[in-house]
Structure formats: structure tokens, C-alpha cells
Structure 1
Amino acid sequence: MPLSRRALLGAGGATAVLAAVAPPAAARPRTAAPIRLVPLQGAVNVRDLGGRPTLDGERVRHGLVYRGDHLGKLTDADLVTLGGLGLARAVDFRIPTEVGHDGADRLPAGVAAVARPITDNGLFGRLTAAIGSRDPVLQEQLLGGGRAAAFMADVYRTFVTDAANREAFGRTLRDIAAPGSGPVLYHCTSGKDRTGWTSWLLLRLVGVPERFATEDYLASNTIRAAYDARVREGLRQGGLMRNPELIVPLQEVRREYLDAALGEVRAGYGGLYRYVTAGLGLDPRTLAGLRERLVG
């Protein structure tokens, strides 16, 4: 079951996290602005985080924070498109193995590349080993029977339990909060898990209701659906997988994955406020800075 607002925030710190007491029900936001995808040929899940409504009737500003999948296959035309966003930096959450497979980011001139790896808990290795085996029995043993989904839930738990992961998430949020820091794009390989958790946290911390933060998180499924289906069909036609549907839990985001991370937040910290302060090292000034920069 999804955690309640009180369970997420804990007994203290709710006001500091959400920055405002929720207005009366009649004044609460009912709709979110359409997602603004950045149209690129070499990436499918790059989008502006702006447009989400906050509890006090404001909205997250456009043009300041972008989330995405890997940028190693961008075309020259894509670089022109990205160049028009005025990015100051691009933060890459991928581990070295992923970078070696897909290539380093291609970025417009003047955009600082920041390598900030967050462990995928062995996801990339597990996936490549299963596919590379070409063995349907082994693939079923590794990924079938709910094992792929259970593994993804474990990946999300490490977002909370792993100290190096917490440091990377915290540094990224501090970068975004810094006055005058310029627009930021952060990404992983598919733009859905490490990137999705960062985005969910950021939206909640600036006062976006859980409903809309989760809606943004789950949007990766719709955005990536056609591309991911082509990947599965390619695996089938190439003789690599007899049943490529086994990888669907690894390709998707699911509420149960998010809930696995939030369960660790509750178990380890008692609520979201203590997780972001004690776990990620964000002080009240940083939390206020996120709100001041991003909402209006």
C-alpha cells in the first residue's frame, strides 16, 4: 500500500519539506501540465521536470531541471537541440560498465559533464548475462517467476540504504538548489530508476503532491513503451531470447518499486524529512533553496 503523507514525512519536518501547509481541498491542484519531452533522435526519455503543480497552487518552473536517459548516442542535430536549453551541467548517474557499453555523453560545447555513478545493484550485469547466455532455461531461472521484479525492488532499496548512493543523490540536489547554478540535466541509462527516484524526491521536496510526483515517475512507461518493445522484438528476432517478455519488469517502472524505496525510508529514517536531512545531508537552507529556485 502507498505510504501516507504523515508516514513519509515522519512526525517532524513536514513543513520544512513541503514548504507550505496544504490549502483547502477546493484550492488544491487537480491537473498537471503536459509533460514537455525534448525531441531527440538519440535518446527517448529526456524531458523538462517543470509544470508539476504544488500544494499551494504554484507550479515547478520550466527550463531549470531536465531528466533523461543516456546521451551517448545523440546526433549532431540533437546537440543543437540540447544547446538551446542553456544547460550548465549534465550529471551522469551511470556506472563505468554502462558508460563503456553505450558511450560517454555527447554534450553541446560549454556544458560541464559530471560523472556521479550510482550503483544499479548489478542490474546491468544481470541483464547482459541473461541475454548473452542465449539460454532460455537460464533466462527463466534468472528473470522468471517474479524474480526480475523482486530484483528491481532491491535496486530501489539501495537508493536509501547505500551510503555512496545517498551521497550522489544529495550532491545532485544541492547542485540544483545552489543560487545561480544554471539549468541542470541528470540522467542514467534508461532515465527511469535512478533518474526517477531523484525526480520524485525533488518534486516532493518542493511541494508537489505525491499524486503528481508519482505520475511523473510512471510516465517513463508510456514514453519508453515503443522503444522498449522494439528492443524485445530485436532480441527475439536475433535469437537471443525465446521469451523477451521476461525483461519487461526490468524495462518498466512500477509503483511497487517506488514503494520498496519508500519502505526503506520509513524503516531506516522514520520519514522523508529525516532521510533527506540525515541521509542525504540536505540542510534547511538547501531545502528552501530548492523551493525558491524551482517554484513560482
Structure 2
Amino acid sequence: MQYRTGRARRAVVIAVLGTAVLGAAPPAFAGPPATGPSVAESPAQSGAVQRSLGLEGARNARDIGGYPTADGAVVRSGLVFRTDALDRLTPSDLARLESSNVTVVDDLRTTYERALAPDRLPAGAAGNWYDVLGQSPIAALVDMPAAYRAFVTGPGANEAFSAVLHDIAASDGAVIYHCSAGKDRTGWATAVLLTILGVPRDTVTADYLLSNTYRGADPEHPGLDGVDQAWLDIAFDTAVATYGSFDAYVSEGLKLSEGDITELKSRLLD
């Protein structure tokens, strides 16, 4: 009997995960919810309707703009989009992204995810690959708390998230970053970016939890198709435990200089 090598065994595990960190390919999505909340409802609920990109082939695609910061600024819309995988984009989806001046697409998935579901990119956009979890132990791919700790401590993870932030700071157009489900690796990248910009933690968490709305997961029992606030808290707690503070995580872990942070704020805040 022949036994698989460690690398081949890892490939099989990743390929059959379906959901969890990698996320199963969702059914086609025809846009944001048909009915929305009134303006009297919470910002998180209002955002669930207003920030969707309305892509047919990526139901968890949304704009991170519009959130207020603690010091009264507002994150600009139309510059940074967080999405799920782009392999199911329709011609109209691609045209919409092209008209939104998307010039950079950063893919946070593993080699095997990319092979199973190659991105479709809008015309004129450059694609980059920053593998967050490909060098982490298998446990980080099948156990959600382990995955969120690996977002901070896993080999290659800091470099991947750092590259996304540097792309956003340097781009002269709109930037997309994504994983498979657009909820975990993408969720942490968004939480880090919004926190750097000064968006309060409760708003950051609300944006993270919107993946349950767009992916149709039960917020009380999200399972592998949704997200849980406890997972996001694990990543924040791991950053503080590892580096002493979130700011130190940004400067020492992600290697963002004061100049980088100033550039992000200058580009993304009104």
C-alpha cells in the first residue's frame, strides 16, 4: 500500500474542506436583500443593505467605506472592497468592477483554493497572491479558533496582510482583497484596516458580523458558513498577547511605519 506524502495529504485536506476557513462556493447571489431597514435602525443593519456591491457571482462583496472614526472622520467609499472568491463573476459583475476603477486584486487563498477556483479579474486589474494560511499547520485550516490565532502568529500571515495594506496605501485606484468565503481572512484584514483608520471596535465587529447576513448564516449558530464574534476577539487578543498592544502588532508584526499609516489615513479618510 502506498502512503501519501505530507504535502499530498495536505492538498487532499484543503481540497475537501468546502467550508470553514476556505469556505464553500456559495450559491449565486442576485444582489443585496430585497427589503432594507429604516434609517432608525442600527448602523450594522443599515450597512447590510447599503454596502453590498450587488455582484451576482460574489454575494459577500461589499465596500468598507462609510464608517465613522472615533475622531469624526469617515472612511471613503469606492476605494476598498472586501469580497469572497471571484471565480463566479459574471460579465456584468466584471464590467461593474471595471467601472469602479478596480486596479488591484489581492488573493489571500492557498495554492489549492486558487487551483480549484481561479479568479476572474476585471479588465486592467493586476492580480496579487498573498497566501495567509498555506504555511500554517493543518489545524489552522479546520479549527476556527486556531485559524484566527494563525492570522497573527502563522508563518507568512503577517507578510500577507501587510502586503494588502501596502497595496491599499499605494494604489491609484480601487483595491479588492478576498479569500474564498470573504469572511475570515478577509474579515481579519478588514478589522485590522478599519482599526488602523480609527473606526471604533464595536463598528469593526459589526462589519465583521455582516458576513452572516450576506452568507445567510444563523448569527446565533453560524457554523462553518458564518462568523462568530468570539473568533474575531481571539485574533485581537492574540495580537495583544504576542506584541503587547494592537499598535505594536501593526508596527512590529505587520511592519507598517508611521508614514504607511499616515498614507492609509490620507487616502481613505474624509
- Cα pair 1:45 1:68 within 8 Å, conserved: yes
> Aligned match of 1:167 in 155, 159, 170?
159
Q: How far apart, CA to CA, are the structure 1 residues paired with 2:177 and 2:239? A: 22
Aligned position for 1:7: none
Q: How far apart, CA to CA, are the structure 1 residues paired with 2:148 and 2:184? A: 8
Aligned position for 1:258: 232
Q: How far apart, CA to CA, are the structure 1 residues paired with 2:72 and 2:89? A: 37
Give the TM-score, by structure 1 length: 0.71
- Cα pair 2:108 2:132 within 8 Å, conserved: yes
- Cα pair 2:139 2:146 within 8 Å, conserved: no
Q: 1:153 to 1:125 in 2, by over 3 A?
A: closer
Q: 1:209 to 1:124 in 2, by over 3 A?
A: closer
Matched, 1:83 2:98: yes
Task: Point out where structure 1 has 5 or more consecutive residues left out of the alignment.
Answer: 1-29, 127-150, 230-246
- Residue 31 of structure 1 and its aligned partner are, at CA, apart by 4.6
SS at match of 2:127: strand
Deviations 1:76-106 (A, max 9, x none): 12111211110111001111111122x2111
Aligned position for 1:155: 147
Q: 1:77 to 1:123 in 2, by over 3 A?
A: farther
Displaced runs of 4 or more, over 6 A = none
Aligned position for 1:211: 202
Aligned position for 2:127: 113
Alignment of 1:1-296 (within 5 A): 31=43, 34=47, 35-101=50-116, 103-119=117-133, 121=136, 122=138, 126=142, 151-178=143-170, 181-225=172-216, 248-296=222-270
Deviations 1:237-287 (A, max 9, x none): xxxxxxxxxx95221111110111122112111110000100010010001
Q: How far apart, CA to CA, are the structure 2 residues paired with 1:201 and 1:184? A: 16
- Residue 38 of structure 1 and its aligned partner are, at CA, apart by 0.8
Q: How far apart, CA to CA, are the structure 1 residues paired with 2:172 and 2:96? A: 21
- Residue 69 of structure 1 and its aligned partner are, at CA, apart by 0.1
One-letter amino acid of the counterpart of residue 76, structure 1: P
Q: How far apart, CA to CA, are the structure 1 residues paired with 2:184 and 2:65? A: 19
Give the TM-score, by structure 2 length: 0.77
- Number of aligned positions between the proteins: 222
Q: Percent identity?
A: 41
Structure whose CA Rg is larger: 1
Q: 1:207 to 1:113 in 2, by over 3 A?
A: same
- Cα pair 1:152 1:249 within 8 Å, conserved: no
- Alignment root-mean-square deviation, CA: 2.0
- Residue 68 of structure 1 and its aligned partner are, at CA, apart by 0.2
- Residue 181 of structure 1 and its aligned partner are, at CA, apart by 3.0
Q: How far apart, CA to CA, are the structure 2 residues paired with 1:248 and 1:285? A: 39
One-letter amino acid of the counterpart of residue 49, structure 1: I
Q: 1:155 to 1:124 in 2, by over 3 A?
A: closer
Aligned position for 2:18: none
Q: How far apart, CA to CA, are the structure 1 residues paired with 2:131 and 2:144? A: 18
- Residue 209 of structure 1 and its aligned partner are, at CA, apart by 0.7
Q: How far apart, CA to CA, are the structure 2 residues paired with 1:206 and 1:79? A: 29
Segment of structure 1 superposing worse, 92-101 or 191-200? 92-101
One-letter amino acid of the counterpart of residue 240, structure 2: R
